[in-house]
A = this chain, B = another copy of it.
Amino acid sequence: MSRAYILGIDVGGTSIKMALFTRKGEMVKKWSIPTDNQEEGNYIVPQVKQSVVMKLEEKGLSLDNLSGTGIGVPGFLDNENERVESAVNIGWRDYPLVSILSQSLGTPVLMDNDANLAAAGEFWKGAGKGAQDVMCFTIGTGVGGGVIIDGKIVHGVGGMAGEVGHITVDPFGGKKCNCGKKGCLETISSATGMVNEALEGLMQRSNSLLHQKKGNELIAKDIFEAAAKEDELAKEVIDRSMFYLGLVIANACTLLNPKKIVIGGGVSSAGDALLDPLRSHFSRFALKKVKDDTEFVVAELGNDAGVTGAAWLALHS
């Protein structure tokens, strides 16, 4: 039987997403299993194998029909030695994932970090399609990213490329970031950052609609909803967040002049309420020709971006 299929795996802290693709890149089946991070993540590969075999059987297929596997991991990778240096939420530490998974599935395995593969997924099949130079910014709990130049993921010498959330936007101070620095982009422009800014603002604004949410948990979606009702505080928080994101993207475009900027993550569902102020601030900080070259698009693949990028990796490396 021919090895006509590719497996894409996207390892996350709560679930492991998987999908089967044809070699032409068509997704034929997707599913997920919960992440079992007991015993330093040692159960994960056997569980993945079991679920893959089961899903293949449902289609009358077996592991012999797989020609390659790509896997995205949330953590620091030692690509040269094909090991996971550390993936805190998964439990892997100095873990030879590539050889273990390859032995288990009987296919070549290629590995990259999850943010890079989400970017690659959008580049291949989603909002970044048609461009060779794409930068992705994922606005969620943090701000993540991936850089694709000339159709290839940029890793940098230590695999740290694309850590856009830790670009310094307030060099004179700013809030403390989880990374240990201060004034990082994600302290302001992530969903968490926006909520923090709103909570601070509420102390001075007795009339904001966001007070209704104060007792419950305020989330970024509430801020966009309040802004749609012309709430001043909400509008200011979004504007400030997009001011700094626009600055970072303009500066990154001055450096790399990509064709497309893909905005993903939970907050990107706000659509034009996010893109309009973002484009407007971006325009102030970008050279005219760079501005004219750059197209802003919202990510299209949602939760499928990671598995799609993993399949792309297996097919194109």
Contact A290 B163 (CB under 8 A): yes
| Chain B CB within 8 A of A95 CB | no
Interface residues in A158-211 (C-beta closer than 8 Å to B): 158-164, 166-168, 171, 179-181
| Chain B CB within 8 A of A288 CB | yes
A242 to chain B, nearest CB (A): 12
Contact B156 A257 (CB under 8 A): yes
Q: Using Cβ atoms and an 8 Å threshold, which residues of chain B touch A247?
A: 168, 171
A86 to chain B, nearest CB (A): 12
Interface residues in A130-176 (C-beta closer than 8 Å to B): 131-133, 145, 147, 149-150, 152, 154-164, 166-168, 171
Contact A158 B257 (CB under 8 A): yes
| Chain B CB within 8 A of A54 CB | no
Of B154, B155, B160, B171, which one neighbours A290 at CB under 8 angstroms?
A: B160
Residue of B nearest to A177 (CB): B287
Q: Given A76-B289, A156-B256, A162-B255, list of 17 further CB < 8 A pairs?
A: A131-B157, A132-B157, A133-B157, A155-B257, A157-B293, A160-B289, A161-B257, A163-B254, A163-B255, A163-B257, A167-B251, A167-B254, A168-B251, A168-B285, A181-B285, A181-B287, A252-B255
- A290 to B161 CA separation, bound complex (whole angstroms): 9
Q: Using Cβ atoms and an 8 Å threshold, which residues of chain B touch A155?
A: 257
Interface residue ranges, A against B (CB under 8 Å) = 76, 131-133, 145, 147, 149-150, 152, 154-164, 166-168, 171, 179-181, 243, 247-248, 250-252, 254-259, 284-285, 287-290, 292-293
Residue of B nearest to A295 (CB): B157
Copies of the chain in the assembly: 2
Of B132, B251, B293, which one neighbours A160 at CB under 8 angstroms?
A: B293
Contact A167 B255 (CB under 8 A): yes
- A170 to B180 CA separation, bound complex (whole angstroms): 23
- A315 to B264 CA separation, bound complex (whole angstroms): 40
- A247 to B174 CA separation, bound complex (whole angstroms): 14
Contact A133 B156 (CB under 8 A): yes
Contact A180 B290 (CB under 8 A): no
Of B147, B157, B180, B250, which one neighbours A255 at CB under 8 angstroms?
A: B147
A288 to chain B, nearest CB (A): 7
- A152 to B149 CA separation, bound complex (whole angstroms): 10
Q: A154-B256, A156-B293, A257-B155 are in contact. Are A287 and B179 (CB under 8 A)?
A: yes
Residue of B nearest to A156 (CB): B257
Which of the listed residues A166, A256, A288 has the most CB atoms from chain B within 10 Å of its own CB? Answer: A256
Q: Using Cβ atoms and an 8 Å threshold, which residues of chain B touch A171?
A: 243, 247, 285
A148 to chain B, nearest CB (A): 11
Contact A158 B251 (CB under 8 A): no
Contact A254 B158 (CB under 8 A): no
26 sample A-B contacts, Cβ–Cβ < 8 Å, listed by A number = A131-B157, A133-B156, A133-B157, A147-B256, A149-B149, A150-B154, A154-B256, A156-B256, A156-B257, A157-B258, A157-B293, A158-B257, A158-B289, A158-B293, A159-B257, A160-B290, A161-B256, A163-B255, A163-B287, A168-B254, A168-B285, A180-B288, A181-B284, A181-B287, A252-B255, A255-B256
